[in-house]
């Protein structure tokens, strides 16, 4: 993470290093001598192990790192005096130069046979050293090369005892998402330090729906004028969120110029990566106080412990002893990582025990600068394995390596106020944003801004910046509008030839202007007709959308339909009109009705169920009335016809036959109620069907239109043509129109005379044509779309604000006022949304009624059967006949009259009263007090005994003789029985 003065292609570094190797070797006598830490020369049992250290000793980070490494080894061996190994440091100064770092590494490995190298300091220097370590099996341990491009997976002998810069990108994206910023500009240094993190940061922002519209690269050696030119370019953009990734040496110059041009004011957002925040104390305090107020930063969190506090005091004393010229040294995260890296290496070497720390010649060569003359470390693989498995509690917390690099820890979100970085929250991989580390929820990842403390933004503002705004010194919105020959109610462009200006009006324009007035900020804009020099349209609606996609214009305002394919390239606001496509078709009066139209009100299953119930009710009534009602007796055909006549006559409530049984009356009452509901429903359905057929259109949907082979019309330039093509309509059947008048003419001619059978377009367009020709045409819904909307570039910050303003417009009276201005409303027009199909009534609608009627009939039958069997059971069981004969006997008794019924008794007494008027009252009284036994069997074999009982006296069950019959009582009874046979 240290800036470099010279940059070379990594592939050329080996050749450059080898070229200067001979020169560097001659200068090694002038380098800092090797320093042995913790070695006890008087103790012959200890084993000295050479390790290399390559740092930029001219920088504060290099000096700080070397001091921390020395203190780490001193503390390690002081706390473990019995250990057998002692690391001997061989230090080389890379002088901020990649070639010097490479030459130093070659010297350390060839001449000092070091087992590992701590360093180098910069990512560019580490690139060559990593390849060298892989070839010679020497672990390269860096505590400051944090570029993600230095992959430990691809380079197994590279150990990153620091965090990868990419580990912070999710913390940055969480902050951006918390405040809902949809765009962010990346400002970063143009070198290896930023090359690795920028792709990861871009991906992380896209994951939270934040677009990166621009990347601002600043050269490490950029002048103030070059920085100003880049800042002026950023000022002309709408985006006001900037993420800065660079080191303090360039960062403080950048922020000084940001303050100078006025970009550190209210409405701006500046977020720093840990490249500046972890080292921000090294920045001039005057720059912080004057130029960085309100900036947010991502900082590597280091838990505050007593051990860390004591180390900081000891380090400051030690550092000032080693570097007396530096009066106010500052210890930062890289010093902590250097301390832990040296500790881990010392532990790994100790675990190897009394190993033979020597090198083996890779290949003999007489060339002194040939890499093949350098020996391969015999213990490199074992040492690498020990480092990979090393775990302990270091200065910054738990130390462990994952895939060759230090595991990501907690990041702190800070806000620069005054000369301090005030903590406002934390970010962890498991829980996202947290107010403090003791209040996290292990089961939920949070990106809520409420989990962050109060923030003072640039310009001493406490209001959350919206992240974008129309630049005052920038361009006005260039809005494209369609040029149309017809349907000018939506958009109308009137051109003034004298001034060469255009006046844009219409329904869509009024809505857009009303929305802009609702926004809480000013949005300047200009309308540009999408027209050729002669004033005609320059293309279709898709062509207009392409102009926004290619950033030639900032928006499209017009009757543009929201469809899925277009949303892949641009963003739409919410729809401000009714959604869907429809067919405009002419009315056709069907003068000749179908001869069987009367059957259509009911479905076939309902017809069948109704007929079955008529038959069932007829059967039930016959069973209940047969024994007591003369109308349901006689020849078989007479009984069948009477029963059916009675049942079916209930349709018109014209039944002339009476029922005498109470059970039959109960069944008939229920059935008449069911028939009443059926007839009323049938009448209503038939009336509706006849009215609908009177104005039935010739086309009811697109599928029917496609099968018929007739021609279809569509509005020129609209998306309707694409939909029809997707439905396999041939071009020969598609005719375009540009105005309502032209569409009317095509529909009037019809498909057979060169016109069209139907017009296909957006619902608002169809309704517009209906408002002019409502007595001739009707609308049939055809397919779904999202409606009409305004078009903006992908990720535009205006889309959510305009969508919210559209909701306010559509829910208020303003929308109705605009519609009444541009669309004529005719009160004599039929309902445009009335369905042209009449559904027949089905069985499902009457299942409840049929269930009630059926249950009542079955219940009446059960009651009748129980009563009948109970009354006649003793007569049947008294005989010695077989079971089948008993059943037959019961059947015969059922077929006979029930002379005990009130109906027959009343008839007989009425007949007798004609001849014996004086005894009428007495006879009736006598009849009512008489108990009649059941009628005897009418078996032919017993016909001679039917008139008398066993004693030879007349049987009482025959009742009184009928005075009308002159033949006396026997003749009357015999005639009755004969009629029943």
Identify the band that residue 243 occupies on the pLDDT scale cut at 50, 70 and 90. Answer: very high
DSSP 808: H
What percentage of the chain carries pLDDT values higher than 70? 78
What percentage of the chain carries pLDDT values higher than 90? 29
The answer to whether 429 and 422 are in contact (CB under 8 A) is no
Instruction: Give the C-alpha separation, 630 to 642, whole Å.
Output: 11
β partners of residue 960: none
Query: Span 832-847, mean pLDDT?
Result: 63
pLDDT at 625 over 50: yes
pLDDT at 918 over 70: no
**The predicted structure's pLDDT at residue 174:** 94
Instruction: Give the C-alpha separation, 645 to 631, whole Å.
Output: 11
Query: Span 143-171, mean pLDDT?
Result: 85
Is the pLDDT higher at 391 or at 870? 391
pLDDT tens for 183-192 read 899 999 998 8
pLDDT at 43 over 80: no
Identify the band that residue 953 occupies on the pLDDT scale cut at 50, 70 and 90. Answer: very low
Element (H or E) spanning 258, and its range? Answer: helix 248-260
Task: Tell which residue, 718, 495, 554, 532, has the closest CA to residue 504.
Answer: 495
Query: Span 311-336, mean pLDDT?
Result: 89
Q: Which of the residue ranges 306-310, 576-580, 897-901 would you say has the lowest mean pLDDT?
A: 897-901
β partners of residue 481: 529
C-alpha distances in angstroms, 630 versus 183, 885, 901?
96, 27, 12
C-alpha distances in angstroms, 48 versus 89, 344, 954?
10, 17, 146
Q: Which of the residue ranges 296-310, 767-781, 845-859 would you say has the lowest mean pLDDT?
A: 767-781
Question: Crossing angle of helices 306-322/333-352, nearest 10°?
Answer: 100
pLDDT tens for 714-767 read 888 787 888 888 888 888 889 988 888 888 889 888 887 888 888 888 888 888
**The predicted structure's pLDDT at residue 115:** 92
893: left (phi over 0), alpha (psi -120 to 50) or beta: alpha
Q: Which of the residue ranges 260-274, 449-463, 943-957 would you say has the lowest mean pLDDT?
A: 943-957
pLDDT at 242 over 90: yes
DSSP 310: H
pLDDT at 943 over 80: no
**The predicted structure's pLDDT at residue 960:** 38
pLDDT tens for 854-897 read 898 899 889 888 888 777 777 666 666 677 777 777 777 776 67
Query: Span 661-675, mean pLDDT?
Result: 84
Return the structure tokens found at 416.
């620069």
Mean pLDDT of the chain: 79
**The predicted structure's pLDDT at residue 528:** 93
Task: Tell which residue, 39, 34, 33, has the closest CA to residue 346.
Answer: 39
Is the pLDDT higher at 172 or at 752? 172
Identify the band that residue 845 occupies on the pLDDT scale cut at 50, 70 and 90. Answer: confident
Instruction: Give the C-alpha separation, 944 to 974, whole Å.
Output: 10
**Helix H segments across 550-635?**
564-567, 604-625
Query: Span 541-549, mean pLDDT?
Result: 93
Query: Span 98-120, mean pLDDT?
Result: 91
pLDDT at 703 over 60: yes
Query: Span 184-211, mean pLDDT?
Result: 91
pLDDT at 974 over 50: no
The answer to whether 677 and 846 are in contact (CB under 8 A) is yes
Half-sphere exposure of 723 (CA within 13 A, CB side): 25
**The predicted structure's pLDDT at residue 929:** 39
**The predicted structure's pLDDT at residue 443:** 60
The answer to whether 384 and 352 are in contact (CB under 8 A) is no
Instruction: Give the C-alpha separation, 268 to 185, whole Å.
Output: 12
Query: Span 774-785, mean pLDDT?
Result: 80
Instruction: Give the C-alpha separation, 185 to 258, whole Å.
Output: 14
Instruction: Give the C-alpha separation, 31 to 24, whole Å.
Output: 10
Element (H or E) spanning 921, and its range? Answer: helix 920-928
β partners of residue 502: 495
**The predicted structure's pLDDT at residue 834:** 44
β partners of residue 786: none
Query: Span 359-380, mean pLDDT?
Result: 61
Is the pLDDT higher at 158 or at 8? 158
* 673 CB-contact burial (10 Å; exposed 0-12 / middle 13-18 / buried 19+): middle
pLDDT at 182 over 90: no
Give the 3-state secondary structure of residue 895. helix
**The predicted structure's pLDDT at residue 444:** 77
Is the pLDDT higher at 498 or at 399? 399
Cis peptide before 359 (omega within 30 of 0): no
Query: Span 86-93, mean pLDDT?
Result: 94
Task: State the sign of the Cα–Cα–Cα–Cα dihedral 758, 763, 769, 775.
Answer: positive
Instruction: Give the C-alpha separation, 287 to 279, whole Å.
Output: 14
Query: Span 67-84, mean pLDDT?
Result: 94
Query: Span 607-629, mean pLDDT?
Result: 83
pLDDT at 35 over 60: no
Query: Span 242-252, mean pLDDT?
Result: 91
Query: Span 646-668, mean pLDDT?
Result: 74
Task: Tell which residue, 404, 362, 388, 389, has the closest CA to residue 132.
Answer: 362
Find all residues with CB under 8 Å of 272, minimum gap 6, and list them.
243, 244, 245, 251, 280, 295, 296, 297, 298
Identify the band that residue 837 occupies on the pLDDT scale cut at 50, 70 and 90. Answer: very low
**The predicted structure's pLDDT at residue 908:** 56
**The predicted structure's pLDDT at residue 474:** 56
**The predicted structure's pLDDT at residue 440:** 56
R_g (Cα) of the chain, nearest Å: 51
Query: Span 619-627, mean pLDDT?
Result: 81
**The predicted structure's pLDDT at residue 920:** 41
Return the structure tokens found at 764.
């608002």
Task: Tell which residue, 852, 792, 713, has the closest CA to residue 238.
Answer: 792
Render the burial of 565-580: b for 16+ CB within 10 Å, e for the rest.
Answer: ebeeebbbbbbbbeeb
Give the 3-state secondary structure of residue 955. coil
pLDDT at 704 over 60: yes
DSSP 875: H
Instruction: Give the C-alpha separation, 759 to 735, whole Å.
Output: 9
The answer to whether 280 and 198 are in contact (CB under 8 A) is no
Q: Which of the residue ranges 152-166, 293-307, 815-829, 917-931 would you say has the lowest mean pLDDT?
A: 917-931
pLDDT at 365 over 50: no
Cis peptide before 646 (omega within 30 of 0): no
Q: Please give the full DSSP string across 723-787, using - where no structure is assigned.
A: HHHHTT--GGGEEEESSHHHHHHHHHH-GGGTS-SEEEEEHHHHHHHHHHHTTTEEEEEEE----
Instruction: Give the C-alpha separation, 504 to 516, whole Å.
Output: 16
Give the 3-state secondary structure of residue 153. coil
Query: Span 445-466, mean pLDDT?
Result: 90
Q: Which of the residue ranges 41-45, 256-260, 643-647, 669-673 would you say has the lowest mean pLDDT?
A: 41-45
Is the pLDDT higher at 155 or at 482? 482
Query: Span 133-162, mean pLDDT?
Result: 85
pLDDT at 829 over 60: no
Instruction: Give the C-alpha separation, 626 to 175, whole Å.
Output: 91
Give the 3-state secondary structure of residue 865. helix
Is the pLDDT higher at 542 or at 495? 542
């Amino acid at each position: 993470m240290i800036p470099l003065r010279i940059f070379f292609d990594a592939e050329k570094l080996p050749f450059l290093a080898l070229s200067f190797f001979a020169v560097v070797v001659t200068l090694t006598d002038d380098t800092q001598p090797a320093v042995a830490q913790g070695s006890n020369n008087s103790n012959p049992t200890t084993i000295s192990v050479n390790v290399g250290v390559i740092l930029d000793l001219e920088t504060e980070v290099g000096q700080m790192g070397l001091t921390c490494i020395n203190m780490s080894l001193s503390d390690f061996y002081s706390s473990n005096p019995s250990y057998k190994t002692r690391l001997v440091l061989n230090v080389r100064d890379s002088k901020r130069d990649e070639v010097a770092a490479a030459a130093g590494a070659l010297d350390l490995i060839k001449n000092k046979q070091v087992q590992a190298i701590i360093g180098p300091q910069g990512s560019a220097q580490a690139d060559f050293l990593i390849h060298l370590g892989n070839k010679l099996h020497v672990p390269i341990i860096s505590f400051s090369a944090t570029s993600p491009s230095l992959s430990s997976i691809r380079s197994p002998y590279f150990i990153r005892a620091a965090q990868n810069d990419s580990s912070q990108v999710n913390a940055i994206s969480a902050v951006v998402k918390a405040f809902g910023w949809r765009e962010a500009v990346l400002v970063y240094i143009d070198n290896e330090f930023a090359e690795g993190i920028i792709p990861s940061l871009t991906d992380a922002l896209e994951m939270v729906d934040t677009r990166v519209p621009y990347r601002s690269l600043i050269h490490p050696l950029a002048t103030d004028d070059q920085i100003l030119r880049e800042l002026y370019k950023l000022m002309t953009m709408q985006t006001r969120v900037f993420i800065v990734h660079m080191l303090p040496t360039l960062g403080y110059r950048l922020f000084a110029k940001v303050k100078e041009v006025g970009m550190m004011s209210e409405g701006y957002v500046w977020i720093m990566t840990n490249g500046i925040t972890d080292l921000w104390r090294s920045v001039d305090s005057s720059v912080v106080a004057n130029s960085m107020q309100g900036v947010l930063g991502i900082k590597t969190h280091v838990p505050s412990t007593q051990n860390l506090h004591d180390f900081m005091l000891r380090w400051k004393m030690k550092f000032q002893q080693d570097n007396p010229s530096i009066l106010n040294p500052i210890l930062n995260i890289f010093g902590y990582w250097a301390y832990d890296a040296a500790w881990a290496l010392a532990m790994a070497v100790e675990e190897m025990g009394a190993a033979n720390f020597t090198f083996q010649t890779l290949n003999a060569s007489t060339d002194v600068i040939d890499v093949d003359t350098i020996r391969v470390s015999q213990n490199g693989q074992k040492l690498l394995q020990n480092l990979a498995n090393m775990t302990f509690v270091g200065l910054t917390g738990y130390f462990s390596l994952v895939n060759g690099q230090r595991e990501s820890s907690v990041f702190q979100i800070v806000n620069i106020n005054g000369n301090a970085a005030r903590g406002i929250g934390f970010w962890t991989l498991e829980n996202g944003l947290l107010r403090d580390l003791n209040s996290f929820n292990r089961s939920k990842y949070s990106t809520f801004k409420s989990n962050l403390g109060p923030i003072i933004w640039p310009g001493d503002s406490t209001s959350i910046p919206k992240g974008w705004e129309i630049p005052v010194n920038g361009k006005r919105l260039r809005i494209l509008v369609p040029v149309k020959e017809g349907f000018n109610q939506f958009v109308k462009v009137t051109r003034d030839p004298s001034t060469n200006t255009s006046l844009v009006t219409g329904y869509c324009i009024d809505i857009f202007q009303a929305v802009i007035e609702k926004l809480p900020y000013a949005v300047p804009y200009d309308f540009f007709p999408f027209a050729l020099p002669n004033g005609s349209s320059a293309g279709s609606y898709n062509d207009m959308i392409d102009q926004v996609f290619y950033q030639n214009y900032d928006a499209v305002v017009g009757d543009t339909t929201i469809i899925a394919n277009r949303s892949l390239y641009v963003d739409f606001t919410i729809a401000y009109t009714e959604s869907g496509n429809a067919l405009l078709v002419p009315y056709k009066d069907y003068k000749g009705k179908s001869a069987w139209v009367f059957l259509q009100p009911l479905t076939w299953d309902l017809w069948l169920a109704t007929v079955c119930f008529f038959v069932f009710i007829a059967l039930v009534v016959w069973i209940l009335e047969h024994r007591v009602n003369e109308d349901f007796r006689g020849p078989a055909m007479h009984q069948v016809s009477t029963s059916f006549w009675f049942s079916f006559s209930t349709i018109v409530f014209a039944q002339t036959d009476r029922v005498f049984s109470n059970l039959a009356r109960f069944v008939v009452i229920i059935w008449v109620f069911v028939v009443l509901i059926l007839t009323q429903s049938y009448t209503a359905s038939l009336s509706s069907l006849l009215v609908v057929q009177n104005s039935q259109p010739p086309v009811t949907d697109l599928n029917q239109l496609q099968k018929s082979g007739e021609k279809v019309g569509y509005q020129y330039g609209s998306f309707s043509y694409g939909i029809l093509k997707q439905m396999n309509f041939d071009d020969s059947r598609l005719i375009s129109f540009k105005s309502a008048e032209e569409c009317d003419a095509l529909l009037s001619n019809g498909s057979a005379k060169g016109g069209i059978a139907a017009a296909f377009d957006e619902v608002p367009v169809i309704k517009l044509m209906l408002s002019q020709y409502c007595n001739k045409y009707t609308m049939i819904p055809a397919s779904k779309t999202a409606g009409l909307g305004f078009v903006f570039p992908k990720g535009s910050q205006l889309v959510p604000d305009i969508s919210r303003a559209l909701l306010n417009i559509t829910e208020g009276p303003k929308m109705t006022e605009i519609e009444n201005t541009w669309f004529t409303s005719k009160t004599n027009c039929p309902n445009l949304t009335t369905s042209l199909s009449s559904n027949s009534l089905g069985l499902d609608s009457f299942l409840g009624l049929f269930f009630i009627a059926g249950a009542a009939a079955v219940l009446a039958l059960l009651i009748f059967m129980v009563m009948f069997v109970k009354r006649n059971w003793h007569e049947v069981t008294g005989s010695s006949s077989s079971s089948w004969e008993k059943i037959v006997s019961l059947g015969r008794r059922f077929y006979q009259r029930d002379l005990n019924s009130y109906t027959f008794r009343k008839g007989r007494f009425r007949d007798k009263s004609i001849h014996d008027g004086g005894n009428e009252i007495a006879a009736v009284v006598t009849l009512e007090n008489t108990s009649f036994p059941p009628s005897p069997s009418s078996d032919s074999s017993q016909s001679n005994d039917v008139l008398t009982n066993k004693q030879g006296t007349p049987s009482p069950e025959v009742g009184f003789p009928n005075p009308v019959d002159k033949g006396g009582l026997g003749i009357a009874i015999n005639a009755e029985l004969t009629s029943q046979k």
